[in-house]
């Protein structure tokens, strides 16, 4: 009898932990509400469409719920590369135990993402597109090799259209 009670207690405790974790996860709509203004601010600073930044953040960080987002404030899956001098976190991605950038804040992640694209030679052609042309930007990011997913552009476009993110591409931000 006590063995059964112990098992039930263990199952209950395990369920409580899982349900608590599920309740604390950020939804896509909450992510958009929380970071849209930051994406618009970065669009005004660098010319990268806010819809693209938000869609990449949602996709790359699982709306802020991924291990990289939670442990390293890395919302865009940016790897260390040889020039990175900041903090690091190791995570399995295309290969085992890859080096990813770790940031003090989500703002630092957004700013570095913008700078990474703005200053990256392979992304320069993207700035020939208007900030309202999110489809060309999405296809261009795929072409430039931002991610290894063959359907990266389709995924970004689907997120943008599902959540109406293109509305942010023509927003004015107060300074």
Residue 2's SS3 state is: helix
Q: How far apart are CA 172 and CA 168, in angstroms?
A: 9
Four-point Cα dihedral 44, 47, 50, 51, nearest 10: 160
Question: pTM of the predicted model, to two decimals?
Answer: 0.82
pLDDT attached to residue 41? 96
Contacts for 21 with CB less than 8 Å, ≥ 6 apart: none
Residue 44's SS3 state is: helix
Interior angle at CA 150, CA 147 and CA 156, nearest 5 = 65
- DSSP assignment of 4-31, as one string? HHHHHHHHHHHHHHHHHHHHTSPPHHHH
pLDDT band with cut points at 50, 70 and 90 for residue 133 = very high
- DSSP assignment of 31-85, as one string? HHHHHHHHHHHHHHHH---HHHHHHHHHHHHTTTTSHHHHHH--SS--B-TTT--
Span of 23-37, 117-131, 148-162 with lowest mean pLDDT: 23-37
Q: How far apart are CA 1 and CA 54, in angstroms?
A: 54
pLDDT band with cut points at 50, 70 and 90 for residue 8 = low
Query: Which ranges in 105-174 belong to alpha helices (H)?
Result: 106-119, 134-144, 152-162
Q: What average pLDDT score do residues 37-43 get? A: 97
Per-residue pLDDT tens for 63-111? 999 999 999 999 999 999 888 899 999 988 778 988 999 999 999 999 9
pLDDT attached to residue 18? 43
pLDDT band with cut points at 50, 70 and 90 for residue 175 = very low
């Amino acid at each position: 009898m006590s063995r059964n009670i112990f098992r039930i207690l263990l199952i209950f405790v395990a369920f409580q932990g899982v349900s608590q974790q599920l309740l604390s996860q950020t939804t896509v709509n909450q992510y958009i509400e929380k970071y849209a203004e930051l994406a618009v601010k970065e669009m005004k600073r660098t010319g990268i469409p806010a819809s693209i930044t938000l869609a990449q953040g949602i996709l790359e960080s699982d709306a802020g719920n991924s291990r990289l987002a939670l442990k390293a404030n890395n919302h865009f899956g940016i790897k260390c590369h040889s020039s990175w001098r900041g903090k690091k976190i190791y995570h399995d991605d295309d290969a085992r135990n890859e080096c990813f950038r770790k940031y003090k804040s989500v703002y630092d992640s957004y700013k570095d993402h913008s700078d990474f694209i703005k200053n990256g030679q392979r992304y320069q052609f993207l700035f020939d597109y208007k900030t309202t042309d999110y489809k060309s930007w999405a296809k261009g990011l795929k072409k430039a090799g931002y991610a290894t997913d063959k359907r990266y552009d389709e995924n970004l476009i689907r997120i943008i259209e599902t959540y109406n993110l293109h509305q942010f591409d023509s927003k004015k931000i107060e300074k």
